[in-house]
Structure 1
Amino acid sequence: MPEFIMNSNATRKPGITMKITLVLLRGLVLPLAVFTSPQLRAAWMEKEVPAKDLTVTASSQYGSGQAVLHLVDGSGMQNGRHDNNGSADTMWHTTQSPKPSSAAPGLPPSPAWVRFDFAQPLQFDAIYLWNHNQANLTDRGFRRTRFFGSADGTNWISLTSPEVIELPRASGITGLDAIVVTKTASTRELKAAVIAAETTDGNYGSDYFGLSAVRFVKGHEVAEADLPIPTAMACAALPYAPFRPDGQPAREIAVSLRDAKLYGAVTIQVDCSGAQEQTVVSANPRGADQFSVLMPASAGVTNECEATVKLQSGRAALQQTITVPACKPRVYYILMHSHCDIGYTDVQPHIAAKQAHNVVHALELIEQTKNYPPGAQFKWNTEGFWQVEQFYKIATAEQKAQFEQAVRDRRIGVDAMYGNLLTGLARGEELLEQLEFSTQLGKRCGVPCDEMMISDVPGLIWGIVPSLAQAGVKYISDGPNASSGMVGDRIGYVRVRWENHPFWWVSPSGNERVIYWGAQGGYSIGHHCGSIRDAIAELTTQLDEWGYPYDIVQLRWTKGDNGGPDEGVMPIVRDWNVKYAWPKLIISTTSEMFHEFEKRYGDKLPVHRGDMTPYWEDGAGSSARETGINRLSSDRMTEGEILWTLLKPQSLPAEGYEEALKNIAMYSEHTWGAYNSISAPDSDFVKAQWKIKQAFALDGESETKKLLADALATRGATPETANAVDVFNTASWPRTDLVTLPKEMKLTGDSVKNDRGQVMPSQRLASGELVFLAKHIPPFGGRRFTLAVGNANAACAAKAESLTLSDSAITLKLDPQSGAINSLRANRLDHEFVDAAANLGLNTYVYLPGGDVTKAQPNGPAKISVKENGPLLASLLVESDAPGCRKLLREVRLVDGLDRVEIIDNIDKEAIRSVEGVHLGFGFNLSNPALRINIPWAVIQPEKDQLEGACKNWFSVERWVDLSDERLGVTWTTVEAPLLEIGGLTANLPRSQPNPRAYLSSIKPSPTIYSWVMNNHWHTNYRADQEGETVFRYALRLHATYDQTAAAHFGVESTEPLIAAPAAGPAPARSLVEISSGPIMITSLKPSADGKALILRLYNTGETTAHASLKWNRVSPKAIFVSDLLEKTGAPASDTVDLPAYEVQTLRAELK
């Protein structure tokens, strides 16, 4: 229960009433209580009405988990403080939007009330009330509240003055203290009491009402002889050094009693090195079992010492000797921010409003604390740019000016990322584009945006390092999830290995680096520590225990997810720095902290390279269709931007691309849905959030399609019936690939010729589509193909028969039972690529209910038929029933002349809410192959190129995976599905997983991989089920020795098709620009924002340094400079470049 001290020890005569002010050390006292004073040699004690003597009823309750009995049964209570259970399972709350009702005849209607009927009439002095403390949902707590009592159960009176009490909102942090409401009514004994919320402003804005706990308390006098006596005490030196009244630093000792509390005055003496210090603690009517006392001056501050603690209170006398270690002179940098869940705690529009208000409130607190001492003045970190964007939508011109001035004054730190991105879902260019918004704001304010915050999300893709370097960002503040008893949920080893172990993180090329620093306690230590004081005590103890080597400590401080600034921090810091010599507290921006840290320790930090393979990307498999759509949109955005540059760069719709980028980013942002998405998937709250989340993917798709179509429309009007088709290549190397014309397109005929009159292989498919092989399309250019009356023409060798597909390069066979590929050979390699011994063909369907891999299930018997019989394209269609599906369709295709196997899987999913996973297996016949995974701006080999603590149960793939032994190999590409398992069904960890050891700490090389396409493994946030048709496409390229450039090209070709449209205007022009090197590709080509230059992004996909030259055809730049994300003019460059392996370089080509 909350702790009190009485401010008077004077002797009083029996029977005389007096007002005693109760000073609440951890809680809030409302009007003064009236007590009868104790006699001399006695103590005043307070006693609760036991739960067994109460009958509790309520206006309504949400469910059995949120029962009204929780208010009195001790649920969630520990040492007088209440928890912040995320599901309110230790609290009570109403149904949604409750209708007003009366607790008894004669009482006013209330939307939420609780009635307490006492077993026997009783008198009490005060009501202790813990408001609704559910994490992130404290707006359910009672606000304007009435307290009624009845002596007969019929006639009711108000128990307080004033009659309506405004209760403070709970913190949402575990360890909530009580509000004390004192009974001022003169009535003595009552049979019942009612707590009722007002119909207006009865809570803090929610559709629900709730409380955490209620106690009725009565004071009484106890003779000293009857007081309990503790039998032992535990003493520990607190890890800080306060100033004594004489101005000298000293140490403080915490004293905890066992077995019993003390109610009378207490004297505590500390002896150390011949000096003594004595502390007297006043009597406490609620009893006290914890004290803190000062040591003699300077003792234990700079040197270790032995201290003897002696406690005396009435008949109680205890003593203990302890060792007090020297105090570490640390400085805590407090980074105040709101962890932004775009959804989860509320629907997304409400979150936008909350986050916008957080910035407004931050500006108010900056003004309010401008005269505070340095270090105690309020500062705010935005965490991401999305929050700033919401502020700009509602801010006045004056507020916008205030915000930008606060940025210039370093009172607001703008963090680099757009949101808390699941980086493993992003393409390389997408990572870069995420950073543009904050860097542009920093440029406008004259303050470089040089750091990023990432919160909640465990793990980061390695490509984030070169991306940050391109944006001028030098620091990463990481605050991973720290729920589930502060271990973290489904985060593997990230916190175990990297929490408070800052290091230089070197990029894949080795030429860039950033400081990575994982905060102790993640981002959310404030969720369970009641105040900064509590956090300092907890962190300091932890840091001392493992020998933290630095004097600067990063302390992330949030007031619940989506919570606003904690107004209590600034006074605490102001007063702390006056009271304590060490540690010092500084409210800081992230950038300021890192600059000081680098200045002091930059040359001492360890250096690491590798991928911090992330963990939470697995949730994207709960909405596999939308995840695939978003991946395609990201590619389409890059293609469209290049196409605009080729056709009409001066008209590129920058705003349209910005909107599309934001939608793509918002889908990949870590908040998928509501906190109860699994437990209550059919609730309107859950459905509303998913509809908005889904719309990010769907809107990104429609926007990028429109931008691409608009670019093509700049060529002019197209005829109703097409007699020619223009084909464009947005890659930086020549391409030959299949073009598919929809059946709805009116064509002159099926005979296709190139611009030299040569006949191209073509074929009319069973679907009505016309396909043809578009050969030798120049980089950043196009060719026109004419269509003539006549049949498709193809002197090709693709054919399908029974279970076999073949063309001039490849022969494969399907298993008649499973429908998987059980034989795959390349004519030029003389090797069987399917591992018969593994009993796992290529594209094998595997359904795993639950997490027990021994219960994995295959599809039903396969029905195999010829779908396309060549001669250009041949395919076999496999139809089957399959567990978890309404129907499973798998098509395997060969295109003669492309030397690849194409797979198109269509899973018509049933909605299943029990734990499940859908996997597609590929068992290759290779001898101890090296396995390489393409991620943004890098290629990694598991284990070899992973940081310690990285995820090994599943991997995120950008485009391709290669498995190669010393002689030959296969490159495997995935279009829609990003998740990969190696060696087996290692993605088998459903629901909450707080134990890091549940995850693989190592992984062995294997020729077997699985595409993990669907799951509902999570217990929150992600989707409970998914249904309907979802397509997954793969391609296989069989090769001799490993060629990383070829693999990189194949990856892009599999995910970014050639762009074809009815011919319009002049024939496509030749290449805008060409690059001579195979390993170095141009990943982005666009006009500069000022219209004066072209911006090119170069990337060396190879394993060694490469040399390349640029050849300009349609423009002739007057100068070329090294540039960056801000498109600045940097060091002079030329048409020739040398790039180390995996180097990313941006060039600015100034136009004449």
Structure 2
Amino acid sequence: MPRITEILLLGHTHHDVGYTGSPRVVDRRHRRAVGEVLDLCDRHAEPGPEQFRWTFEVARPVLEFVRTAPRRDVERLAELVRAGRISVTGGYLNMTQLIGEHELDASYEQLDDLARAGIRVRTEQHGDVNGIAWGAVTAMRRAGIDRLVMALNPDHGRPPFTQPTGFWWEGPDGEAVFVWLSTHYGIGEQWGIVDGEVKTAEQHIARFVCELESRADYPYGVALVHAANDNRWPTARFLDVVRHWNATHPETPMRTATVDEALDRVLPTAERTAAPTVRGEWSDWWSHGHGSTARDVALYRSARTFALTGRVAHALARLREPVPVPTAEVIGYRRGPVQLRDAAELSADLAMVDEQLLLFDEHTWGSWESYSSAGSDFTHSHWNAKAGFACAAHDWGRDVAVEGMVRLLGDSGGGGPDTTRVAVLNPTARPRTEPVSVEVDLRRRVLLARDVPAFGVAWFDLPPSPRPGPPARTIATARYELTVDPRRGGVASLVERATGRELVDGDAEHGLGAVVVEQVAPGSDHPMVTRDPKHFRPEDPGPEFVLALARQEAEPTTEYGPGHAAITWRASGPHLDEVRTTVRLYDDVDLVDVEVRVTKPEVFAPESVFVAFPFDVPGRHFWLETAGAVFRAGDEQLPDTCMDWYSIQHAAAVVDGAGDGVLWGSFDAPLVQVGDVHTGRWARELRTPTGHLNSWIMNNLHFTNFRAAQGGTATFRYRFAPGRGLDRADVRHLGRAVLQPLAPRVMTGPTAMRGSAGLEVEPAEDVLVDLAPGADEAEVRIRLRAVRDSDVPATVRWTGPGSVELEAGPAGRPGGDDGRGAVRVVVPRHGVVDLLARRS
């Protein structure tokens, strides 16, 4: 128990894009605050313990500053960073676990602008949010960041260790970052520090120092104290606290510091005392907020699908020899482009979509009065701004994707009849056979797109309209036989015909695809209900919840199309006006598709809505996809992180000890509860008595900033299939297939593109491949991501028309040229390799 010999006061603001004010207003003010910090550094430049020092908690406002400010001001900033007066951290914003690996890449790649301005970034700082995706460790290290400060909010969750302390967090690839698990940044205001209330601050800081000195597990001789709170405008008032403290406590001096300097101070102790090393997901207790805005989260996920599809289509079109591109004469949603972007405009639009996605990923969500004044103008306007990020990303992402498809398909110029067919693009590196939904005459039809080549296009006749069958509770295809039980609200039996294997747990209370409402038990005296919703937290276990099933209202209907059959039932339940569920089976693929459309009124009492998937998998465990990684729920997690619920990317698997089980994907809803319904248990150990996987589509179990209620109609889509010997790589591939599904487009007239575009990657089962248009009209960026627990030797080859030069970039270990115009590289375990392709 070493004596605290020094106190470091860290001046910063906690960066919320909203909360205290409209996101529109707050975002601009944060950008302008950078200039204010420079002026404060000039006004309080006298060397000494109370010299003004500042940390920019996130990179976004500084990035905007270096891009737009006069050069002399950018140089002032860079000089202050070099002098140790200012730290700029590497996280774009304080992010939720919605963020995917592509958005992580987009955020860290922007740090190059800081490097070009002479600003070194050494640390990432994350505030408020109670978790961060495991794959972020690998992404941080790739960006040259090996230190992370997590200033967790103590409300509504648990830290993995006692705050404050230090530990090493090992990523999926075995590389680690040092984590300083800090106190909550909000003590800066609670203790009177940011307002210069010297007496109040003195009392709190003295008590804090005593607590640290009494801890046997705190070997650090320094105390780090935050001078910050939500969206605080930069001031120098906290310098008065330093002066007062040093005048009254000369035995324990205090000085201002940046976060970089603070970590420089504690790291040697962490290394000397062998701070613990932990490995796994930092599962966020606050991620249930993603279920407070189900419709908007689904739109956001659709937006990034469009953006990624557009990148691939533009990239492939760029590598192939130029062909005429037809344009439309009406600016319309279902039409092609009226103009084509040049390389600069395309790059700018894709960057703008990335920005909008990142702003939606950001943790603030709604206003501080979302619960206390759910109907206020501020609450409404604030959410309009937040949802606008997803809407903008969707609109521009879709527009880019449509133009990319039109560019890739081209115009053969060969004349001939105007035949209407369906072009299906495969935006991934593996051949695929999957169902796609095609819009014909404003109605959706299902097409089983067979053998669509990797990075290629296959053509199909327009699918016929499905023919209705008789009302029935059972349907069958060559692969499956399915039976619906109205008493269980969904599928009671789904038998794999070739093996006789039953996929649905016969003892489950709810059928597969059933919609279940969860409410607080009647008469509950839990303080969450009787006092304040803030008491939904680990310190107040509970409350007790009861489940109510959406009951079927009539006999299910059936329909049949070429190679597929579907069954649909309607139901209603507590606070559910209508539920319409469709399950579709196929003859030629093992995939099962489920679509659930929910219509409900707004409800302000605590509630949750689930879609049940009670799989029959004995001896089970769950693999879950997070950003850039797959983790085993309960086992590969930091201590005391959330096990009641998880926010996943798109895929999961429930498997037995041999890896036999079910692969499951969710297009629209990220939240799951595994093995059971766990709401209110605040578990320290994951218990999975069943193989059930519950999609948690909606809830309002919050006390601030998330939506207090949600109503209207939303649709949730799922896809699953049985598998054997499943592992992490299978989950990653399914997640990519759901994120980047086969992309259909109905086309009339002759086109130039069919078959493979010409880009080949081997072995496609061991890597994921990202494509994006590069800086000019001839350049394409290729990124290979390893999905195995070992290095992956890979080959990239161009076999299409024209000449394309391939070159291995700096990220990874190049393996040379194979002598046939291909490039061989070694993709490190769970890492990436970048290549450039250029049409010559």
TM-score calculated relative to the size of structure 2: 0.85
Which letter maps to 2:781? I
Q: Tell me the SS of whatever aligns to 1:879.
A: strand
- Establish whether residue 617 from structure 1 lines up as the match of residue 287 from structure 2: yes
Corresponding residue number in structure 2 for 1:380: 54
1:327 Cα shift? Answer: 7.8
Sort the Cα spacing of 1:784 and 1:842 in 2 relative to 1 into closer, same or farther, 3 A: closer
Aligned residue among 292, 311, 318 for 1:648: 318
Return closer, same or farther for 1:525/1:768 CA change in 2, 3 Å cut-off: closer
Note if contact 2:510-2:612 (Cα within 8 Å) is conserved in structure 1: yes
Closer, same or farther: CA 576–683 of 1 in aligned 2, 3 Å:
closer
Matched, 1:849 2:519: yes
* Offset at residue 822 of structure 1 (A): 0.4
Aligned to 1:449: 121
Please list, as runs of the form range in 1=range in 2, the aligned pairs for 1:402-481 lying within 5 A after superposition.
402-422=76-96, 424-437=97-110, 439-481=111-153
Three-state SS of the structure 2 residue aligned to 1:530 is coil
Structure 2 counterpart of 1:1146: 833
Cα pair distance change 1:1093/1:551, threshold 3 Å = farther
CA offsets per residue over residues 208-250 of structure 1, 9 Å max, x none?
Answer: xxxxxxxxxxxxxxxxxxxxxxxxxxxxxxxxxxxxxxxxxxx
Alignment check: 8 A CA contact 2:445 2:465 kept? no
The aligned residue for residue 754 of structure 1 is none
Equivalent residue for 1:667, pick from 349, 360, 365? 360
Could you tell me how far apart the structure 2 residues matched to 1:885 and 1:793 are?
A: 30
* Corresponding position of 2:620: 929
Give the SS at the match of 2:212: helix
Tell me which residue corresponds to 1:513.
Answer: 176
Residue 227 (structure 2) aligns with: 557
Contact 2:318 2:773 in 1 (8 A): no
What one-letter code is carried by the residue in structure 1 that aligns with 2:589?
L
Tell me, yes or no, if the aligned pair for 1:886 and 1:908 is still in contact at 8 Å: yes
Report the 3-state secondary structure (helix = DSSP H, G, I; strand = E; otherwise coil) of the residue aligned with 1:1026: coil
How far the C-alpha of 1:1122 sits from its partner, in A, is: 3.4
Deviation of 1:734 (Å): 0.9
Deviation track 1:932-988 (CA, whole Å, cap 9, x = no partner) reads 112122221122111101101101111111112246311111111111112322123
* Counterpart contact for 1:392–1:400, Cα < 8 Å: yes
Aligned counterpart for 2:683 among listed residues 1000, 1018, 1024? 1000
**Deviation digits for residues 511-549 of structure 1, max 9, x if unmatched?**
x21111111x31111122123544531321111121320
SS of 2:365 mapped into structure 1 = coil
The AA in structure 2 aligned to 1:1031 is: T
- 2:763 aligned residue: 1077
Deviations for 1:789-815, whole angstroms, at most 9, x for unmatched residues? xx8599xx9988611222211111111
Match of 1:726 in 2: 423
Which one of 683, 686, 693 corresponds to residue 376 of structure 2?
A: 683
The residue number in structure 1 matching 2:267 is: 598
- Give, in whole Å, the separation in 2 of the partners of 1:1088 and 1:415: 27
Find 1:1121's aligned residue among 809, 815, 825: 809
TM-aligned CA deviation for residue 892 of structure 1: 0.7
CA 1:800/1:1045 → structure 2, altered by over 3 Å: closer, same or farther? farther
- Say which one has the larger Rg: 1
> Over the residues paired in the alignment, what is the CA RMSD in angstroms?
3.0
Partner residue in 2 for 1:979: 671
Contact (CA 8 Å) 1:739, 1:772: kept in 2 or not?
Answer: yes
1:587-613: CA deviations, max 9, x gaps? 232223323433554353322111111
Do 1:505 and 1:515's aligned partners in 2 also have CA atoms closer than 8 Å? yes
**Number of paired residues?**
771
Q: Is the CA contact 1:829–1:1040 (under 8 Å) kept in the aligned structure 2?
A: no
Q: CA deviation at 1:370?
A: 2.0
> C-alpha distance in 2, partners of 1:1098/1:611?
23
Contact 1:726 1:1067 in 2 (8 A): no
* DSSP 3-state at the match of 1:931: strand
Q: Where does 1:35-184 land on structure 2 (aligned, <5 Å)?
A: none
The answer to whether the 8 Å contact 1:937/1:1144 transfers is no
Q: Do the aligned residues in 1 keep the contact of 2:468 with 2:559 (CA within 8 Å)? A: no
SS at 2:178 equivalent: strand
Q: Alignment partner of 2:125: what SS?
A: strand
Return closer, same or farther for 1:808/1:350 CA change in 2, 3 Å cut-off: same
Q: Is the 8 A contact 2:779 2:836 kept in 1?
A: yes
When residues 453 and 912 of structure 1 are mapped into structure 2, their CA distance, relative to the original with a 3 A threshold, is same
Residue 572 to residue 1047, structure 1, CA distance change in 2 (3 Å): closer
Kept after mapping to 2: 8 A contact 1:798/1:874: no
Q: How far 1:1150 sits from its partner (Å)?
A: 6.2
Q: Contact between 1:860 and 1:880, CA under 8 Å: does it hold in 2?
A: yes
Once the two structures are aligned, what percentage of the paired residues are identical?
24
Cα pair distance change 1:540/1:566, threshold 3 Å: farther
Q: Which has the higher helix share?
A: 2
* Structure 2 partner of 1:346: 21
In 2, are the aligned partners of 1:726 and 1:1060 still within 8 Å (CA)?
yes
Structure 1: distance between partners of 2:792 and 2:469: 41
Q: Residue 798 of structure 1 contacts residue 894 of structure 1 at CA under 8 Å; is this kept in 2?
A: no
User: Does structure 2 retain, via aligned residues, the 8 Å contact 1:819–1:864?
Assistant: no
Secondary structure (helix, strand or coil) at the match of 1:728 reads strand
Equivalent residue, structure 2, for 1:489: 155
Task: Output aligned runs, 1:200-279, within 5 Å.
Answer: none
Aligned position for 1:658: 351
Q: Which stretch of structure 1 is more off in the superposition, 531-540 or 679-688?
A: 531-540
Residue of structure 1 in register with 2:715 after alignment: 1031
* Corresponding residue for residue 592 of structure 2: 901
Which is further off, 383-392 or 410-419? 383-392
Seen in structure 2, the aligned counterparts of structure 1 residues 533 and 566 have a Cα distance that, compared at 3 Å, is: farther
Contact (CA 8 Å) 2:602, 2:709: kept in 1 or not?
A: yes
The within-5 A match list for 1:623-772 is 623-648=293-318, 651=343, 653-715=346-408, 716=410, 722-744=419-441, 768-772=443-447
CA distance in 1, matches of 2:204, 2:777: 51
Structure 2, unpaired ranges of 5+: 194-200, 320-341, 522-542, 818-822
Contact kept, 8 Å, 1:878 with 1:889, in 2: the verdict is yes
Deviations 1:649-706 (A, max 9, x none): 7837111111111211111211111111112111111111111111111111111101
In 2, Cα distance between the equivalents of 1:416 and 1:627? 25
Give the direction of change, closer, same or farther, for the CA distance of 1:352–1:1078 in structure 2 (3 Å limit): closer
Indicate the SS of the match to 1:881: strand
Deviation at 1:1075, TM superposition (A): 2.2
Residue 1021 of structure 1: how far off its partner (Å):
0.4
CA distance in 2, matches of 1:1069, 1:479: 52
1:751-805, CA deviations, whole angstroms, 9 ceiling, x for partnerless residues?
xxxxxxxxxxxxxxxx844443322222222234466xxx8599xx998861122
Q: Residues 798 and 896 of structure 1 are in contact (CA less than 8 Å); yes or no, is this contact kept in structure 2?
A: no
Which deviates further from its counterpart, 674-683 or 842-851? 842-851
Match of 1:138 in 2: none
- Return the alpha-carbon distance in structure 2 between the equivalents of residues 1043 and 664 of structure 1: 30
TM-score by length of 1: 0.63
Quick one: which amino acid aligns to residue 516 of structure 1?
V
Partner of 1:1086: 772
2:472–2:558 contact (8 Å) kept in structure 1: no
Q: Alpha carbons of 1:1107 and 1:571: their partners in 2 closer, same or farther (altered >3 Å)?
A: same
Question: Residues of 1 paired with 2:757 and 2:36: CA distance?
Answer: 53
